[in-house]
Amino acid sequence: MSAFDDFSFDIAEIPFSRRGAWLDLSRVVALHTVADDLHLVTHTGGMHAVLRLEPRRDGRPAATDVRATPGVLTWSADGGLVEAAFDDAGIRFRGRGLGLAFVAPDELTPFTGAYLFVDPLDGSPTLTSYESGRRYRFTVLRGEPEVVGAERVGVTPRAIAFGSDDDWEVLVEELETSAPAVASVASFDAVVEARRAEFHAYSERLLTGTPFSVDVKACYVMWSATVSPAGFVTREAVLMSKHWMDKVWSWDHCFNAIALAAGDPQAALDQFLLPFDHRDATGALPDSITHSEVLYNFVKPPIHGWAFAQLRARAPRPFERAQLEEVHAGLAAWTRFWLRQRRAPGHALPYYQHGNDSGWDNSTTFDHGGVIESPDLAAFLVLQLGVLAQLSEELGLPASEWIEAESEVRTALFREFWTGSGFIARSVATGDPAPATSLLNSLPIVLGEQLPEDVADRLAASITRHLTEWGPATEPVDSPLYEDDGYWRGPIWAPSTMLIEDGLRRAGHRELADRIARSFAALCDTSGFAENFDARTGAGLRDRAYSWTASAYLTLRSDALARAESAILAGAE
């Protein structure tokens, strides 16, 4: 039996969904909130648990076992079962010997809750949700549901309930205002098989070698977190999660793009370019994007030059000139933002306004104030300027602007931040050094082969001081500032791990890079694809189905297999 055939997942950890869908079925109904029953959850207008799904037998709640696979989710109890599968229009449900009630909130006010009615046009029970701003149409394909609370207002039970005595089947769609009546549908079994085949094909594009169950799980986290273009999401996108972290942040998306590059370069490029569709007049990328909002209150670090170089190196075919021109235009505007809008008068180095700008929101580096010039920011900008210069020359465009700026920022980085033993950050207002125990201060390792050997050696040593059994802690575990669940004050994160591993490897510290890659693989195998991890125990923290964790795992795994294959070929020669 293959890892695909045997794969199932914990529905309390990962939602049941599919590529392209904005809906899922999950026990996670709000921030850090896990319910006993599964809910139908939407991510249009934010995360909202619209309906509670209650298995029933003889009209009473029934205890069930739940099993989730990429193709079908099943509730089972004493020979009866209810199954759910995603089709192209919505979610199909069918039952045999077991009923299911779709239970809406009891309270309906002028501004909250759900209103239930039976549409006279086609007889479909329909529910409107104030929270999501959408309608949910139930097209009954077999059986006869009981509709409770139709057209009632105030506080009253509301549900569409299918009994356990007869076989039944229904299609649930999320609509804006209206849609044509459903004319025909594929068989339920055909829908299940189509989703299995889609997921299998997607995973085979992302994976190399014989997959293990953790590899398939990583692919499922990515596949199920993907949504189709809608609202402000202008391209197909991988959300960070279909739990409460249901956005695309303007650095998170880079790691997902890199993981997609080898198997689906167009999807990778769309993922990479999405935030650039929303850059403002100064060239700044938004902080985050989701279906119904774009936020500009913060930015994110300019890792995009580094990321595009990674993406381009992994893609199986060259990108076309028009694609390169689009990337160049976005990177140029984004880089000018940092050079023109984020450098204090007379200063060569750019600054963050807050920890959130760095992506390391509450890192100890920002403890004495958020407006700082930081070595990671300068290093990222050096790489991005280098990529821009290369792209400009390739496209026949002037490159001197980028070459001169790259030299200026690089010189200032080493002149102003390198102490001989490590890099410092400093307050823009006072010029005083910022706290320097965070792993953030070691991120100039991303310069890799561009670093002087002694600097690379010092950075490798500083990174080693952050290592635990599970990888590089963002704050050393022996630091008085360390917190087990302190977000960027201790836990291990996928992006910092991947950036450091890549920089170490390019700087010639391959053994240390190998150690970090192995630790991260073991961490994901043990604790799944959480938002971050306890650096001492390896336990998963926060959101438990985080796509950039899965994408970093897939990238590091693919790289390790490629190195192993190269070593075998070299030995054979």
| Beta-carbon contacts of residue 136 (< 8 Å; ≥ 6 apart) | 40, 50, 51, 126, 127, 128, 129, 172, 173, 174, 175
Assigned token pair, 391: 């792209």
- DSSP states of 368-381 as a string? T-S-EE-HHHHHHH
Instruction: Count CB atoms within 10 A of the CB of residue 165.
Output: 12
Instruction: Count CB atoms within 10 A of the CB of residue 356.
Output: 18
Assigned token pair, 554: 């897939």
Q: How many Å apart are CA 354 and CA 342, to the nearest integer?
A: 12
Instruction: Give, rounded to a whole angstrom, the gap between the first and last alpha carbons of the chain.
Output: 35
pLDDT value of residue 488: 98
Q: How many Å apart are CA 308 and CA 254, to the nearest integer?
A: 8
User: Residue 567 pLDDT more than 90?
Assistant: no
DSSP letter, residue 417:
I
Left (φ > 0), alpha (ψ -120 to 50) or beta: where does 487 sit?
Answer: left
User: Residue 183 pLDDT more than 90?
Assistant: no
Q: Name beta bridge partners: 532.
A: 541
Question: In 3-state terms, the chain is what percent helix, strand and coil (to 5)?
Answer: 35, 25, 40
Task: Give the pLDDT confidence of 353-381 residue by residue, as tens digits.
Answer: 999 999 999 999 999 999 999 999 999 99
Average pLDDT over residues 278-282: 98
Q: How many Å apart are CA 65 and CA 75, to the nearest integer?
A: 6
Average pLDDT over residues 499-516: 98
Assigned token pair, 353: 């306004």
Return the amino acid letter for 482. Y
Of the candidates 113, 135, 166, the residue with the CA atom closest to the CA atom of residue 23: 135
60-63 own/partner pairs: CB under 8 Å, 24+ apart? 62/98, 62/99, 62/164
Whether the Cβ atoms of residue 535 and residue 491 lie closer than 8 Å to each other: yes
Q: How many Å apart are CA 390 and CA 347, to the nearest integer?
A: 26
Whether the Cβ atoms of residue 247 and residue 297 lie closer than 8 Å to each other: no
Residue showing tokens 């109904």: 29
At the topology level of CATH, where does 207-572 sit? Glycosyltransferase (1.50.10)
pLDDT value of residue 566: 85
For 32-86, where are the E strands, in sequence order? 33-42, 48-57, 60-61, 65-68, 73-77, 80-86
Q: How many Å apart are CA 327 and CA 339, to the nearest integer?
A: 18
| Beta-carbon contacts of residue 247 (< 8 Å; ≥ 6 apart) | 239, 240, 288, 289, 290
Q: Is 33 exposed, middle or buried (0-12, 13-18, 19+ CB in 10 A)?
A: exposed
Task: Give the pLDDT confidence of 286-333 residue by residue, as tens digits.
Answer: 999 999 999 999 999 999 999 999 999 999 999 999 999 999 999 999
Q: How many Å apart are CA 328 and CA 285, to the nearest integer?
A: 14
Q: Where are the domains of the chain?
A: 23-178+187-195, 207-572
Task: Give the pLDDT confidence of 393-440 residue by residue, as tens digits.
Answer: 999 999 999 999 999 999 999 999 999 999 999 999 999 999 999 999
- Calculate helix-pair angle for 375-395, 321-341, nearest 10 degrees: 140
pLDDT value of residue 45: 87
Q: Is 539 exposed, middle or buried (0-12, 13-18, 19+ CB in 10 A)?
A: middle
3-state secondary structure 22-37: CEEEEEEEECCEEEEE
Average pLDDT, the chain: 96
What's the pTM value of the predicted model, to 2 decimals?
Answer: 0.96
Assigned token pair, 389: 């210069």
Assigned token pair, 98: 């077991």
Average pLDDT over residues 144-172: 96
pLDDT value of residue 573: 64
3-state secondary structure of 133: coil
pLDDT value of residue 1: 53
Average pLDDT over residues 444-455: 98
Return the amino acid letter for 426. R
Q: Which helix (H) or strand (E) holds 288?
A: strand 288-290
Percent of the chain exceeding pLDDT 70 equals 99
Average pLDDT over residues 57-82: 96
Task: Give the pLDDT confidence of 87-118 residue by residue, as tens digits.
Answer: 999 999 999 999 999 999 999 998 899 999 99
- DSSP states of 267-279 as a string? HHHHHHHGGGGG-
User: Residue 133 pLDDT more than 80?
Assistant: yes
Whether the Cβ atoms of residue 182 and residue 89 lie closer than 8 Å to each other: yes
From 3-12, 24-33, 278-287, 343-352, the region with the lowest mean pLDDT: 3-12
Per-residue pLDDT band at 139 (split at 50, 70, 90): very high
Average pLDDT over residues 565-571: 81
Assigned token pair, 258: 């890199």
Per-residue pLDDT band at 268 (split at 50, 70, 90): very high
User: Residue 340 pLDDT more than 80?
Assistant: yes
Of the candidates 165, 167, 129, the residue with the CA atom closest to the CA atom of residue 40: 129
Whether the Cβ atoms of residue 286 and residue 276 lie closer than 8 Å to each other: no
